[in-house]
Amino acid sequence: MKPRRPLDPYLLLLPSLAVLLAFVIAPLFFAAKTSLYRWDLLTEARFVGLGNYASLASSGQLGELVGRTFGFGAIVVVFGTTLGLALALALDRPGRLYAFFRGAIFSAYVVSWVAVALLWMWILDADSGLVTVVARALGLPTLSWLGDPRSALVTIALVTVWKITGYAMVVFLAGLQAIPPSLHEAAALDGAGAWRRFLHITWPSLKPTTAFVATTSLIASFQAFDVIRVMTQGGPVRSTTLFVYAIYEEVFVNLRVGKASALTVVFFVLLLGLTGLQLWAFRTQRASRPREEEPA
Partner 1 sequence: MTRRASTRALLRRRGWLGALGSLSLGALAGGPVASSLLGCSALSSALPALWFSYGGKNREALLALVKAFGEEQPEHRLRAVYQGDYFELLAKLRTAMHAGAVPAVTHVIAEVMPYLAEAGVLEPLDELEGLSGDLELVPELAQEGAFTPKPGRRLYGLPFNRSTPIAYLNGAVLDELGLAPPTTWEELERFAALATKGEGSDRRFGFACPIDWWFWVALVGQAGGELVDAEGRYVLGAEAGERALALWQRLVHEQGVMRPPPGRDYNAWQVTNLDFLAGRAAMIWTSTAFLRYLEENAKFRVVAAPLPRDVRHAVPTGGTMFVVPRAATSEEKRHAAAFLRFMVLPERANEFATKTGYIPVSRAGIAELERSGWYASHANDAVARDQLRHVRPWPWSPELFRVQREVVQPRLEEAVLERRPPREVLASARHAIEEGM
Binding interface with partner 1 (CB under 8 A): 40-43, 55, 126-128, 132-133, 136, 142, 144, 146-149, 232-238, 251-255
Query: 152 or 266: whose CB is closer to partner 1?
Result: 152
**Least distance (Å) between residue 260 CB and partner 1:** 12
Query: 46 or 283: whose CB is closer to partner 1?
Result: 46
**Least distance (Å) between residue 78 CB and partner 1:** 27
**Least distance (Å) between residue 64 CB and partner 1:** 12
**Least distance (Å) between residue 161 CB and partner 1:** 21
Query: 59 or 223: whose CB is closer to partner 1?
Result: 59
Instruction: Count the alpha carbons within 13 Å of 25 in the hemisphere toward its beta carbon.
Output: 7
**Least distance (Å) between residue 240 CB and partner 1:** 10
Q: Which pairs with CB-CB distance under 8 Å and at least 24 residues apart come from 268-275?
A: 268/28, 268/31, 270/66, 270/243, 271/219, 271/222, 274/218, 275/215
**Least distance (Å) between residue 82 CB and partner 1:** 30
Query: 254 or 275: whose CB is closer to partner 1?
Result: 254
**Least distance (Å) between residue 250 CB and partner 1:** 9
Query: 71 or 236: whose CB is closer to partner 1?
Result: 236
**Least distance (Å) between residue 254 CB and partner 1:** 5
Query: 105 or 257: whose CB is closer to partner 1?
Result: 257
Query: 60 or 94: whose CB is closer to partner 1?
Result: 60
Query: 215 or 232: whose CB is closer to partner 1?
Result: 232
Evaluate the CA torsion angle 213, 124, 147, 137 in order and state its sign. negative
Q: Which pairs with CB-CB distance under 8 Å and at least 24 residues apart come from 28-32?
A: 28/264, 28/265, 28/268, 31/261, 31/264, 31/265, 31/268, 32/261, 32/265
